[in-house]
Amino acid sequence: MNDGPLYSVTALFDTPDAIIRAAEEVSTGGYTKYDVNTPFPVHGMDKAMKLRQSRLGIFTFFFGLLGTVSIVGFMTWVTVTDYPLVIGGKPFWTWPAFVPIAFEITVLLAAVLTAITMIVLYFRFPNVSHPLHDTPYMKKVSSDRFGISIQASDPKFDEAAVRELLRSLGGKEIAAIYFDAEDLSHRQELFDPKFLGVLALTAVVVSGATYFSFNTLLDMQPFSWMSEQNKLKAQMPSDFSKDGIGMRPPVEGTVARGFLPYPFNGKPEEAGKDLVNPLLPTPAVLARGKAKFLTFCSPCHGNFARGDSRLQGQFPSPPTLHSDKVRNRPDGSIYNVITEGQNVMPSYASQILPEDRWAIILYIRALQRAQNAKESDLK
Amino acid sequence: MSTAAIDYTQEVPLIEGRPRASEIDATIAAPLDEFPKRGWWIAFAVTASMLAFGGYCAFETVWQGLGLWGINIPVAWGFDMTSLVFWIGIGHAGTLISAILFLLRQHWRTGIARFAEAMTIFAVICAGMFPILHLGRPWLPLYLTPYPNQHGVWINFMSPLVWDVFAVSTYFTVSLVFWYVGLIPDLATLRDRTTSKLKKIIYSIFSLGWRHSNRHWHHYERAYLILAGFATPLVLSVHTIVSFDFAVSVLPGWHSTIFPPYFVAGAIFSGFAMVQNALIFVRQSFNLKHIITLNHLEKMNQIIIVTGSMVGYSYLMEFFISWYSGSEFERFVFINRALGPYAWAFWVMVSCNVLFPQLFWIKKIRRSVPIMFVIGVLVNVGMWMERFVIIVTSLQRDFLPSSWGMYYPTIYDIGILMGSFGLFFTLILIFVRVLPVVSIVDTKAVMEGGQPKHH
């Protein structure tokens, strides 16, 4: 400790009057690199030390200006250019509404940046390795004494002369303060393993926390956007019912609307006899029939029901619907084929609504008639 | 000299008993050096349990949802906004004392400024908690800030609620900076007098290496002046903007131009009452009676009468304007306020805010610690009631009589309010143990013999 070159010679004084006089004498004596340390600001010291007025206010002015200009510019850009939105029928650029925020941001930037400028730019803080730290001198000026410290780097510095000057001013406990050699030689190594370790640890902690937050934490209660709720979801088990199934089955014998039971299962003849097409071939019905035919029937039977789809040759060829057999079939019989299926054709009952089946049948009839048009149809 | 011939041009000494500078260090730093006594632990146990209960209620609110609160249509703002405005108001005394009284060269502020500034910061923390909990999803307040997002949407800069976010966050940040800048020299003094190694490291870090250098004091005093100059309009702007949350709406009882000055006066009123209350405990328990003197408390009581009278004038003026406006809705709201279902709250407010503080005109009461303590508590009850009355009575009688309703707070509302008091006093109890409650540097600067004689 304190084994380096000389930093300064210090002296302590008891009263504010004495320190003011000492500061005046030292500054008129031509010393420039000296400092006065007092436990609180002493009135008149600026004059005694011949310090210029602090220019901190100039920085503050520009910081405040920066705040005003940037926030007003930003709000203008948002409300006029980027996101113009009519609010209460007012113009996009309603400057009176900008006043509160402009004021706040001006104060924020001016105050915070002034404090930072003072601490970092003027004081060169944080700095805890100054030679004055941890000296008896520092401990006293921190409490109740007033000290002056003349630095060895001053061009006029001469240790004996300085000691004599301070003694003549009434200074007590005159002492020399030395640099800490270790502090002077201290270099911050980029590849210092300690530094690299801290860096790596920070990286791991930050990335781990980020990963955890985005991938796990956000899916946990209560951050999960109310996905966990005190309600029963479909397919979920429940203790409420005896069978442990959450969803309740319908009461026995329930018939869903539009799904009357089909009485002709395995009875195609009866279906052909008893079932009658309930629809009339209106343009709307035919259009619907066409749409459903193209969706469900055309993949095998072809767009015009000729049985000429691309399945031909790779599959038991789908039959044409223009054969006499089909043309002479009653509507009910065709309905039964769609509902139950036939040969390799599966049932379409689960895919096509009963009404749509009838519409498809009407469309097939229209196709059949178009393929075998009579003279009278052309009139 | 007889008492009749007191020389009023002679200022009363700010610090009694002529302590030496080193004694000031020792007195102010004493609470930081000794292990807390039983009284402190009892107080801490009480406030920490209040905080814990509030924390539980807040946790339930977040976990289960806002349905646990008493708010509903038509009264969608209840204890939450009442307490937000209340706490922001409490904070105002700190900045007023530290900034406005500094600019006005009121040297008596040194005894109370540090504590009041700390109270500001803690009160704003309590205040900020309420709107964030009221969001229901308190992890999403980012949406209140203008940040570029995928939706291409920006916040509405014409909304008073957005102004509020900017005002309160700026207020908090600037208060914190102001407080910290004031603390740096004190932390350096503590660094140099402590004997504990750990404390020395902590104080060294936070004092940033301060050396009490006059080349630094020179800029430091300028910076303090600049910060005070900014904090002064800031403190007036914050409650103005909070009052805009109400005044800019079109609700009868809220839509009023008197709100900004009325709210600022009320804020200073309640803030001073809170500072006075807390300081009575601090000076008693830490033997600071000669530094925080009876004269300080008396001066604070004088400010309480001034601001209390301003608040009383505002109450009268609100009633006068509602009659003078000729608007039957305005008139109805004010008649409902004084005579309707919440009349009890209104009369509690009037008696606590307007009547009791007037007792401070009597010097004996102004200087009696127990009486001023009771009046201080009543003022804060009254000021909380004021915000409750303003918010709830205007909302509970909607424009459509079919949607009229009442507000019933639940245990969660009450618990969170209690928790905010717990948080506030817990922070204060910790503060008085880790940082000097009175500015060491400022106290030394105003002690007798602290400044040169020929200047």
Q: Which of A41, A78, A142 shows the shortest C-beta gap to B188? A: A142
Parallel/antiparallel/unpaired status of strands A146-151 and A6-13: antiparallel
Q: Convert the pLDDT of each residue in B250-261 to its tens digit.
A: 888 899 899 999
What is the maximum span of chain A, computed from C-alpha positions, in angstroms?
139
3-state secondary structure chain B: CCHHHCCCCCCCCCCCCCCCHHHHHHHHHHHHHCCCCHHHHHHHHHHHHHHHHHHHHHHHHHHHCHHHCCCCCCCCCCHHHHHHHHHHHHHHHHHHHHHHHHHCCCHHHHHCHHHHHHHHHHHHHHHHHHHHHHCCCCCCHHHHCCCCCCCCCCCCCCCHHHHHHHHHHHHHHHHHHHHHHHHHHHHHHHHHHCCCHHHHHHHHHHHCCCCCEHHHHHHHHHHHHHHHHHHHHHHHHHHHHHHHHHHCCCCCCCCCCCHHHHHHHHHHHHHHHHHHHHHHHHHHHCCCCCCCCHHHHHHHHHHHHHHHHHHHHHHHHHHHHHHHHCCHHHHHHHHHHHHCCCHHHHHHHHHHHHHHHHHHHCHHHHCCHHHHHHHHHHHHHHHHHHHHHHHHHHHHCCCCHHHCCCCCCCHHHHHHHHHHHHHHHHHHHHHHHHCCCCCHHHHHHHCCCCCCCCC
Residue of B nearest to A134 (CA): B192
Restricting to A residues 280-309, those with a Cβ less than 8 Å away from any Cβ of B are none
CATH architecture of A268-373: Orthogonal Bundle (1.10)
Q: B-chain residues within 8 Å CB-CB of A108?
A: 170, 173-174
Q: Looking at the complex, report in whole angstroms how far the Cα of residue A46 sits from the nearest Cα belonging to chain B.
A: 7
A126 at B interface, C-beta within 8 A? yes
Quick check: B179 and B260 in contact, CB under 8 A?
Answer: no
Residue of A nearest to B439 (CA): A40
ipTM of this complex > 0.85?
A: yes
Q: A-chain residues within 8 Å CB-CB of B110?
A: none
Q: Which of B178, B451, B454 shows the shortest C-beta gap to A42? A: B451
Provide CB contacts within 8 A for B196, sequence distance 6+.
none
Q: What is the mean pLDDT of residues A161-178?
A: 88
Q: Which of B145, B158, B187 to mutate to test the interface with A (most CBs of A within 10 A)?
A: B158
Question: What DSSP state is assigned to residue A147?
Answer: E
Q: A-chain residues within 8 Å CB-CB of B454?
A: 17
- Tell me, yes or no, whether B7 lies in a domain: no
Would the CB atoms of A20 and B167 count as touching at under 8 Å? Answer: no
Would the CB atoms of B214 and A38 count as touching at under 8 Å? Answer: yes
Nearest CA to B433 out of B37, B39, B36 is that of: B36
Q: Is A30 exposed, middle or buried (0-12, 13-18, 19+ CB in 10 A)?
A: exposed
Q: What is the mean pLDDT of residues B16-24?
A: 76
Restricting to A residues 22-41, those with a Cβ less than 8 Å away from any Cβ of B are 23, 35-41
A313 at B interface, C-beta within 8 A? no
Q: What is the pLDDT of residue A228?
A: 73
Residue B5 reports pLDDT greater than 70: no
Q: Which of A15, A112, A119 shows the shortest C-beta gap to B208? A: A119
Q: Which of A40, A47, A224 to mutate to test the interface with B (most CBs of B within 10 A)?
A: A40
- Separation between Cα atoms, residue B156 and residue B162, nearest integer Å: 7
Q: Give, in order, the Cα–Cα distances in Å from B321 to each of B258, B311, B330, B389.
A: 10, 15, 9, 18
> How many beta-carbon pairs below 8 A join chains A and B?
202
Would the CB atoms of B189 and A39 count as touching at under 8 Å? Answer: yes
Would the CB atoms of B167 and A100 count as touching at under 8 Å? Answer: yes
Would the CB atoms of B208 and A126 count as touching at under 8 Å? Answer: yes
How crowded is residue B68: how many other Cβ atoms within 10 Å of its Cβ?
Answer: 18
How crowded is residue B237: how many other Cβ atoms within 10 Å of its Cβ?
Answer: 21
Q: Convert the pLDDT of each residue in A302-330 to its tens digit.
A: 888 888 888 777 778 888 888 888 888 88
Lowest mean pLDDT among A103-117, A278-292, B276-290: B276-290
Q: B-chain residues within 8 Å CB-CB of A10?
A: none
Q: B-chain residues within 8 Å CB-CB of A20?
A: 452, 455
Q: Which helix (H) or strand (E) holds A288?
A: helix A283-292
Q: What is the pLDDT of residue B454?
A: 59
Partners of A146 in the β-ladder:
A13
Q: Convert the pLDDT of each residue in B432-451 to its tens digit.
A: 999 998 888 888 888 877 78
Q: What is the mean pLDDT of residues A184-211?
A: 86
**B400-435 burial by CB neighbour count: b if 16+ within 10 A, else e?**
eeeeeeebebbebbebbbbbbbbbbbbbbbebbeeb
Quick check: B324 and B350 in contact, CB under 8 A?
Answer: no
- Separation between Cα atoms, residue A60 and residue A62, nearest integer Å: 5
Would the CB atoms of A54 and B219 count as touching at under 8 Å? Answer: yes
Q: A-chain residues within 8 Å CB-CB of B188?
A: 142
Q: Between A274 and B3, name the one with better pLDDT.
A: A274
* Structure tokens that stand for A327 in this block: 């043309």
Q: Between A309 and A24, name the one with better pLDDT.
A: A24
As a whole number, the mean pLDDT across chain B is: 89
Q: Looking at the complex, report in whole angstroms how far the Cα of residue B23 sits from the nearest Cα belonging to chain A.
A: 9
Q: Looking at the complex, report in whole angstroms how far the Cα of residue B439 sits from the nearest Cα belonging to chain A.
A: 11
Q: Which of B213, B240, B244, B249 to mutate to test the interface with A (most CBs of A within 10 A)?
A: B213
Q: Looking at the complex, report in whole angstroms how far the Cα of residue B345 sits from the nearest Cα belonging to chain A.
A: 32
Q: Which of B152, B209, B223 shows the shortest C-beta gap to A118? A: B223
Residue of B nearest to A218 (CA): B139
CATH number for the domain spanning B126: value is 1.20.1630.10
- Tell me, yes or no, whether B176 lies in a domain: yes
Q: B-chain residues within 8 Å CB-CB of A130?
A: 209, 211
Q: What is the pLDDT of residue B2?
A: 43
Residue B289 reports pLDDT greater than 70: yes
Q: Is A284 exposed, middle or buried (0-12, 13-18, 19+ CB in 10 A)?
A: exposed
In chain A, ranges of CATH 1.10.760.10 domains: 268-373
| pTM across the whole model | 0.81
Amino acid, single-letter form, for residue A223: F
Q: Which of A43, A83, A130 shows the shortest C-beta gap to B455? A: A43
Q: Between A225 and A101, name the one with better pLDDT.
A: A101
Q: Give, in order, the Cα–Cα distances in Å from A180 to each of A6, A12, A123, B189.
A: 10, 22, 20, 22
Q: What is the pLDDT of residue B1?
A: 38
* Structure tokens that stand for B347 in this block: 């009369």
3-state secondary structure B72-135: CCCCCCCHHHHHHHHHHHHHHHHHHHHHHHHHCCCHHHHHCHHHHHHHHHHHHHHHHHHHHHHC
Would the CB atoms of B211 and A37 count as touching at under 8 Å? Answer: yes
Overall number of domains in chain B: 1
- Separation between Cα atoms, residue A246 and residue A239, nearest integer Å: 8
Q: Which of A54, A88, A100 shows the shortest C-beta gap to B163? A: A100
Would the CB atoms of B157 and A78 count as touching at under 8 Å? Answer: yes
Quick check: B308 and B357 in contact, CB under 8 A?
Answer: yes
Q: What is the pLDDT of residue B47?
A: 95
Q: Looking at the complex, report in whole angstroms how far the Cα of residue B432 sits from the nearest Cα belonging to chain A.
A: 20
Instruction: Work out the angle between the directed axes of helices A331-340 and A354-371 (0-180°, nearest 10).
Output: 120
Q: Between A228 and B265, name the one with better pLDDT.
A: B265
* Structure tokens that stand for B441 in this block: 């540097």
Q: Convert the pLDDT of each residue in A223-268 to its tens digit.
A: 887 777 778 888 888 888 888 888 888 888 888 887 778 888 877 7
Lowest mean pLDDT among A67-81, B134-148, B207-221: B134-148
Would the CB atoms of B209 and A128 count as touching at under 8 Å? Answer: yes
Looking at chain B, the whole-number percentage of residues with pLDDT higher than 90 is 63
| Dihedral sign, Cα of residue B336, residue B337, residue B339, residue B341 | positive
Query: Which domain covers residue B163, as residue numbers?
Result: 17-144+156-445
| Residue carrying the six token digits 């402009």 | A102
Q: Which of B25, B107, B145, B226 to mutate to test the interface with A (most CBs of A within 10 A)?
A: B226
Q: Looking at the complex, report in whole angstroms how far the Cα of residue B225 sits from the nearest Cα belonging to chain A.
A: 10
Would the CB atoms of B154 and A83 count as touching at under 8 Å? Answer: yes
- How many residues does this entry show for chain B? 455
A136 at B interface, C-beta within 8 A? no
